[in-house]
């Protein structure tokens, strides 16, 4: 499917021979004709199915109808009037609408010419984003050329690209800039769309920090050159962590990190740039003990306001820690049930902070699993106040982290 090309038309001094021409270099050895408007060179190369050109009331609109494209004497009077309007910076949308069919006939594709504001204020900048989005169809492939726009256009163009990707689900394949070095007279062409991939990474991190699902990174790693097997390992790790199977998640993530280490040098620059941040989010697997891994996952969930997983992981961390104190197999369901019952019997023998915290955590865990607010007074009181819930979880997680389970330590070892 041929793409949509969006390009901008600026304003440069016009001499007697017309606007200055440049021979742009795409870096592949293909000779290019000299042109004053980079959009024409890009249009010839990309062969878009339609073309949209934006410019202000003072942009060099007259150049579109002379020199680079030979229109003969077609629309001569209108073109002369356009030259005067460009000189006075008073080009109107009606003039452009009237002349656009000349370009459509010459190029053989639909062409839209659109007056835009100078984008000096926030409202004008937002208006430009809306104007660009209005011209993009759902899921359309798009290239954006920023060569001849305002000096602040690259930032606006990047925002526009993100905007249309999100709202129109468009695919932005290129953000093009044809530069010109007055000293060497060379004009290399750059594709800045790699910035979009960095933005995609940042969005993936925002998604992960919100819900803890590693699968937000898989498409980006795959596009960056990571092999399919390692991508699959990360997906499986996400699944196992989601169902609280920390042991299996740990194994899958360790293999994932091995795959990332092996592919590090060959990954795309955007992936290499964000790799330290990704590894930081996988660092919980470096904890030596199972309960420490569960605690770290509980803390992370607590920090992002995911109280369901914070409670579930926190409760499992307590049981795992008690299993280790009682020398029981932490991955055995029967052993975990046996040690849990013994621990609860120990706690019931006398009143203590450890007992209160454990049974409150257990009851909250049961309530969040069922989606109810709790029938016991202290459970209901805690669950109906986010602040109290957070404070309680912090207290419990600190106690387990510091191995402050004296009754479990003394009674279970004695039996």
Give residues with Cβ within 8 angstroms of 78, minimum separation 6: 95, 98, 99
Last residue of a domain, one of 130, 165, 192: 192
**Cα–Cα distance between 40 and 46 in angstroms, integer?**
10
- 242 lies in the same domain as 308: no
- 21 lies in the same domain as 96: yes
- 221 lies in the same domain as 260: yes
Last residue of a domain, one of 286, 316, 339: 286
Q: How many domains does the chain have?
A: 3
- 255 lies in the same domain as 143: no
**Secondary structure (3-state) at 140:** coil
- 282 lies in the same domain as 295: no
E runs forming strands in 1-97:
4-9, 14-15, 18-19, 50-55
* pLDDT value of position 50: 96
Phi, psi of 63 (to 5 degrees): -65, -30
In this structure, what CATH number is given to the domain that contains residue 117?
3.40.50
Q: What is the DSSP letter of 376?
A: S
Last residue of a domain, one of 165, 192, 219: 192
- List 9's β-bridge partners, or say none: 55
- 33 lies in the same domain as 123: yes
Structural domain boundaries, residue 97: 4-192
- 147 lies in the same domain as 18: yes
- 175 lies in the same domain as 205: no
- 269 lies in the same domain as 335: no
- Complete DSSP assignment for 328-358: --TT-HHHHHHHHHHHHHHHHTS--HHHHHH
Tokens found for residue 95:
């003039």
Rounded to two decimals, the pTM is: 0.79
- 303 lies in the same domain as 278: no
Looking up tokens 């669950």, which residue turns up? 383
Average pLDDT per block of 10 residues along the chain, 415 residues long: 90 64 89 87 94 93 78 75 91 94 92 93 92 92 90 80 90 92 87 90 94 95 96 97 93 96 94 95 91 93 94 94 83 88 85 88 89 75 92 90 62 54
**Cα–Cα distance between 389 and 366 in angstroms, integer?**
15
Give residues with Cβ within 8 angstroms of 221, minimum separation 6: 230, 231, 234, 267, 271
- 186 lies in the same domain as 278: no
- 304 lies in the same domain as 360: yes
**What is the b/e burial string over 309-324, where b = at least 16 CB atoms within 10 angstroms of the residue's CB?**
bbbbbbbbbbbbbbbb
């Amino acid at each position: 499917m041929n793409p949509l090309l969006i390009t901008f038309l600026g304003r440069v001094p016009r001499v007697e021979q017309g606007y200055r021409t440049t021979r742009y270099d795409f870096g592949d050895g293909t000779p290019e004709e000299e042109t004053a408007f980079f959009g024409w060179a890009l249009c010839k190369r990309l062969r878009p199915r339609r073309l949209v050109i934006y410019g202000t009331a003072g942009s060099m609109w007259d150049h579109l109808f002379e020199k680079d494209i030979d229109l003969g004497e077609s629309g001569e009077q209108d073109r002369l009037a356009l030259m005067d309007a460009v000189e006075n910076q008073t080009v109107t949308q009606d003039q452009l609408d009237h002349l656009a069919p000349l370009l459509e006939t010459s190029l053989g594709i639909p062409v839209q010419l659109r007056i835009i504001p100078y984008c000096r204020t926030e409202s004008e900048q937002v208006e430009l984003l809306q104007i660009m989005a209005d011209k993009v169809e759902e899921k359309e492939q798009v290239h954006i050329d920023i060569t001849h726009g305002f000096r602040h256009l690259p930032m606006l163009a990047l925002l526009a690209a993100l905007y249309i990707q999100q709202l129109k689900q468009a695919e932005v394949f290129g953000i093009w800039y044809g530069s010109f070095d007055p000293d060497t007279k060379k004009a290399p062409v750059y594709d800045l769309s790699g910035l979009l991939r960095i933005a995609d990474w940042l969005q993936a991190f925002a998604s992960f920090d919100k819900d803890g699902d590693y699968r937000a990174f898989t498409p980006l790693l795959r596009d960056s050159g990571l092999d399919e097997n390692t991508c699959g390992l990360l997906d499986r790790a996400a699944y196992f962590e989601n169902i609280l199977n920390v042991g299996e998640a740990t194994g899958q993530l360790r293999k994932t990190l091995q795959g990332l280490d092996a592919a590090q040098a060959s990954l795309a620059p955007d992936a290499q740039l964000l790799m330290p941040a990704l590894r930081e989010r996988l660092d919980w697997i470096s904890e030596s003990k199972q309960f420490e891994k569960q605690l770290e996952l509980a803390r992370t969930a607590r920090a992002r306001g995911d109280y369901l997983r914070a409670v579930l992981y926190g409760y499992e961390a307590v049981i795992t820690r008690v299993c280790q104190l009682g020398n029981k197999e932490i991955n055995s369901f029967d052993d975990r049930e046996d040690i849990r019952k013994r621990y609860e019997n120990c706690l019931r023998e006398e009143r203590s902070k450890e007992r209160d915290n454990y049974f409150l955590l257990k009851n909250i865990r049961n309530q969040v699993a069922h989606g109810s607010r709790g029938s016991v007074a202290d459970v209901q009181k805690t669950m109906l106040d986010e602040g109290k819930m957070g404070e309680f979880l912090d207290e419990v997680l600190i106690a387990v982290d510091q191995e402050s389970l004296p009754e479990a330590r003394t009674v279970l070892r004695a039996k």
